[in-house]
Chain A
């Protein structure tokens, strides 16, 4: 079964949000060990989801995984387009 691109992107956005939000908190509370373990756990999940996305749909950053074929970084729709934010299925 092929992973749904739109669902996976939503998961990545949610994980990236929790990682970023925790990072902002940690900037001001750098000794909060509970927050650090939450950050590490969420970050690990984000890395896994991003790797799955890149294998199936192309790189998320210009130094991300592009495969052996053509350069897929430039492949649209780019994130600000309506089509990039709705489910293709």
Chain B
């Protein structure tokens, strides 16, 4: 179960609303490499993970990603407060506004709603952990691109924090991969899948 902590992981205090920025940054909520995808991916992968250390890493990073969902929502919501109809029309926010007003709905910057197709749960130790490593790098690139597009320091500060977390998580999933490999058959990591097989090696047909 989870318990809500009534605080942000890192402060978000944006003086000047800017709906254009909100429309870009919302991709890290509902986009292909966003925080909602991250959280759902890690928390879902736990159930087939055979190693306690890796289950811990998936649980704790998956939980932190929920705090990042909240930070992105805080950024989007502060960037879209007290808008005038003129600002909404002028900035191109009208295409989001017509469906969601100033509510926070998980979509990508291009307006595509969140989709579970963005995540993978393969039920295979190496496939899942390497997906997680790639996911952290893809999220890092998205934050790099946001920082290329945004020049308000109030917005950049929390974005830089979130970008740095992707790097840390990449390191921790690196730990996870070496822990998994230590537990597996070093002569052939692909000989059997410890998330499914009961120690019976897979017999390739061509043998």
Q: Are B6 and A85 in contact (CB-based, < 8 A)?
A: no
Q: Are A17 and B7 in contact (CB-based, < 8 A)?
A: no
Expressed in whole angstroms, the minimum distance between the Cβ of B145 and any Cβ of chain A is 24
Q: Are B11 and A28 in contact (CB-based, < 8 A)?
A: no
Nearest-CB residue, chain B, relative to A27: B56
A: which residues have CB within 8 A of B?
9-10, 12-13, 16-17, 20-21, 23-25, 27-30, 59-63, 73, 78-82, 84-86
Rounded to whole angstroms, the CA-CA distance of A23 and B169 in the bound complex is: 12
Main secondary structure of the interface of A (DSSP, over half): helix
Q: Are B168 and A13 in contact (CB-based, < 8 A)?
A: no
B: which residues have CB within 8 A of A?
3-15, 53, 56-57, 60-61, 64, 70, 73-74, 77-78, 81, 168-169, 172, 175-176, 179
Q: Are A82 and B78 in contact (CB-based, < 8 A)?
A: yes
Expressed in whole angstroms, the minimum distance between the Cβ of B58 and any Cβ of chain A is 9
Expressed in whole angstroms, the minimum distance between the Cβ of B9 and any Cβ of chain A is 7
Residues of B within 8 A of A60 (CB): 5-7
Known: A27-B56, A28-B176, A29-B175. Is A13-B11 also a contact (CB below 8 A)? yes
Expressed in whole angstroms, the minimum distance between the Cβ of B178 and any Cβ of chain A is 8
Q: Are B4 and A62 in contact (CB-based, < 8 A)?
A: yes
Expressed in whole angstroms, the minimum distance between the Cβ of B5 and any Cβ of chain A is 6
Q: Are A9 and B7 in contact (CB-based, < 8 A)?
A: yes
Q: Are B70 and A27 in contact (CB-based, < 8 A)?
A: no
Q: Are A25 and B172 in contact (CB-based, < 8 A)?
A: yes
Known: A82-B14, A85-B13. Is A30-B8 also a contact (CB below 8 A)? no
Q: Are A80 and B74 in contact (CB-based, < 8 A)?
A: yes
Residues of B within 8 A of A62 (CB): 3-4
Rounded to whole angstroms, the CA-CA distance of A17 and B6 in the bound complex is: 14
Q: Are A28 and B13 in contact (CB-based, < 8 A)?
A: no
Residues of B within 8 A of A20 (CB): 60, 64
26 residue pairs from A and B, CB less than 8 Å apart: A9-B7, A10-B11, A16-B7, A17-B10, A20-B60, A23-B60, A24-B64, A24-B168, A27-B57, A28-B179, A30-B53, A59-B6, A60-B5, A60-B6, A61-B3, A61-B4, A62-B3, A78-B6, A80-B12, A80-B70, A80-B78, A82-B12, A82-B81, A84-B8, A85-B12, A85-B13
